[in-house]
Amino acid sequence: MLKTRSTLVAAILAAALGGAAAQDRDDRYPGVTGSITPSSSGAAQEWSGADGASGHPLMTAAAIRQAAANFPACLERIWPMAAGRSITREFYQSATAQLTPDLRIMDLMDNQPEFTKSFWDYLDILVNEPRIAKGRELLEKYRKTFDAVEQAYGVDRYIITAIWGVESNYGTLGGDRPVLRSTATLACVGRRQNYFREEFLSTLEILQRGDLRPDRMIGSWAGAFGPTQFMPTAFKRFAVDFDHDGRRDVVDSIPDLIASTANNLKKDGWVNGQSWGYEVVIPTTLNFMLADHRRPMPLREWERQGLVRAGGKPFPHPDATAYLLVPAGVQGPGFLMMANFTAIMKYNPAEAYALAIGHLADRLRGGDRFVQDWPRYERVLTRDERLELQQLLARHGYDVGDPDGHLGARTRSAIRDFQAKAGQIPDGFASATVLEQLRVR
């Protein structure tokens, strides 16, 4: 199962990497995520008491109330599984005795906002001068730690700093909910109990082992915590005790934080010495059907297709393979994505997020802004329009899966097929024009 890191980018941008992982979001960037109500300001807010927008039978107000009433019984049912992981009865009891479900999480889990931001809006918000300046400050402050971590893990310091900056604005926006309570709630209430039971059990293991104190394990509604937003299961796989004090403290120990994040990327396939990818200029003659994450080619093949790096520099590793991402259609920039982009996508499976991390890393290193403009004049489709777009594509016989308003790789591919058949450049961009054309057909 894919990690459910705090995906702060709306599902409209999430790649089809397994819908479950791409659909968990959190509340660190109200209004930026496009996934929660802008008024959401944290744990103090009460549950709305309304049926969830997903329509899932476990998300109706009645089902949520019933699950909340059964919360103590649910925790008792989970106890044998905890015992199977060497959680002591004493610890389980003390950890859960005072727990009550945080039902506000149900609103956050099922929130489906009408309006979302464009790809370029996310990049503007996540990669900006203050974030670059703060990142450079941290790079300098922890230079020796970064030296040691690069030596030990072979993962570039700029990418780690960029994850730190994008995930939590360097630890300043990491959520305000106790992870134990959030994961216990999600393990007993709502539509993803099986998934979150594992996160809850992992949280108990972390706390019993003493890696973190409960009051320091604070995070998003989905249980992602610390400056680089580890989920409890990801913590178990990747966290390391780099400062050798006996605790893996990814919240308050900078060496543990930096090394654990590096270890995560390394285990997810980070290739030392390579970039995540490159902004490229695409010739208008290109067959856009090639812009497909399932069709990687060596960079020198892409050069043969007429693609060049924006800014004109050569590709340092022309034999490395890459796929072409054109997130905003023929009017916007293209990107050739290499293995390290895939590693970032495993960290958080949303394209705009992963691109923001890659770009912020480049900027921290002293690189330039993207050269080409985004089609900022394009209007972003509302949720109803996205649903309509998918339904129209499905009616015309294109495979979009279950229309859900989330525009991923599958919808993009369906749009490409539609555009190709209509004799247009098949760039796969879900523009208002494409919707208009589908309506009149």
Q: Cα separation of 178 and 216, whole Å?
A: 8
Chain-centre distance for alpha carbon 370: 22
Contacting range for Ca ion; rule: CB under 5 A; set: 20-28, 166-174, 235-243, 402-410: 235-243
Please tell me whether residue 355 adopts helix, strand or coil conformation. helix
Q: How far is the CB of 264 from Ca ion (least distance, A)?
A: 16
In the complex with Ca ion, the residue whose CB is nearer, 26 or 256, is 256
Place of tokens 């997810």: 268
Pick the binder of Ca ion from 76, 137, 245, 368 (CB under 5 A). Answer: 245
C-beta closer to Ca ion: residue 150 or 241: 241
Q: Cβ 48 to Ca ion, closest distance in Å?
A: 40
Q: Tell me the C-alpha to C-alpha distance, in Å, between residue 323 and each of 16, 42, 183, 299, 391.
A: 15, 39, 36, 9, 28
Phi, psi of 322 (to 5 degrees): -155, 155
Judged by CB under 5 A, which stretch of 205-213, 245-253, 295-303, 364-372 contacts Ca ion? Answer: 245-253
Quote the CA–CA distance of 234 and 198 in Å, as a whole number: 11
The binder of Ca ion chosen from 110, 199, 256, 268 (CB under 5 A): 256
243 binds Ca ion, rule: CB under 5 A: yes
**Alpha helix locations (H) across 189-245?**
193-209, 232-238
Using alpha carbons, select from 354, 327, 353 the residue that is nearest to residue 343. Answer: 354
| Cα–Cα dist 410/427, whole Å | 13
Closer to Ca ion by Cβ: residue 146 or 323:
146
Q: Would you say 201 or 259 has its CB closer to Ca ion?
A: 259
Q: State which residue, 18 or 246, has the beta carbon closest to Ca ion.
A: 246
Backbone angles phi, psi at 188, to 5 degrees: -120, -15
Q: Number of residues in contact with Ca ion, rule: CB under 5 A?
A: 7
Tokens for 154, please give them.
Answer: 């072979």
Q: Determine if 110 is a binding residue for Ca ion (CB under 5 A).
A: no
- Determine the interface stretch with Ca ion among 218-226, 239-247, 321-329, 332-340 (rule: CB under 5 A): 239-247
Region of 193-201, 244-252, 264-272, 401-409 interacting with Ca ion (CB under 5 A): 244-252
DSSP assignments along 25-79, one per residue: B-SSSTTTSSSS-TT--STTSPP--PPPTT--GGGSHHHHHHHHHTHHHHHHHHH
Backbone torsions φ then ψ of 251, nearest 5 degrees: -100, -50
Closest to Ca ion by CB, 249 or 404: 249
Sole window of 40-48, 120-128, 247-255, 360-368 interacting with Ca ion (rule: CB under 5 A): 247-255
Q: How far is the CB of 257 from Ca ion (least distance, A)?
A: 10
- For 219, the enclosing helix (H) or strand (E) is strand 218-219
DSSP 202: H
Q: How far is the CB of 243 from Ca ion (least distance, A)?
A: 4
To the nearest whole angstrom, how small is the minimum distance from the Cβ of residue 247 to Ca ion? 5
Q: Is 211 in the site for Ca ion (CB under 5 A)?
A: no
SS3 133: helix
Alpha-helix residue ranges (DSSP H) falling in 154-253: 157-168, 179-188, 193-209, 232-238
Closest to Ca ion by CB, 241 vs 388, is 241
Tell me the closest approach of the beta carbon of residue 152 to Ca ion, in angstroms.
14
Which residue's CB is nearer to Ca ion, number 6 or number 260?
Answer: 260
**Span of 69-77, 123-131, 253-261, 432-440 interacting with Ca ion by CB under 5 A:** 253-261
Q: Which stretch binds Ca ion (CB under 5 A): 176-184, 249-257, 269-277, 321-329?
A: 249-257
To Ca ion, the closest distance from the beta carbon of 406 in angstroms equals: 39
**Phi (first) and psi of residue 142, to 5 degrees:** -110, 30
Phi, psi of 310 (to 5 degrees): -65, 130
Q: Which residues does residue 334 pair with via DSSP β-bridges, in sequence order?
A: 280
Q: Enter the DSSP assignment of 7.
A: B
Residue of 125, 27, 36, 22 lying closest to 356 (CA atoms):
125
Q: Would you say 247 or 309 has its CB closer to Ca ion?
A: 247
**Binding segment for Ca ion among 73-81, 110-118, 130-138, 242-250 (CB under 5 A)?**
242-250
How many residues in total does the chain contain? 441
Which parts of 117-176 interact with Ca ion (CB under 5 A)? none
Residue 249 or 427 having the CB closest to Ca ion? 249
Minimum separation from the CB atom of position 180 to Ca ion (A) = 20
Binding-site member from 124, 150, 198, 241 for Ca ion (CB under 5 A): 241
**Which residues of this chain interact with Ca ion, rule CB under 5 A?**
241, 243, 245, 247, 249, 253, 256
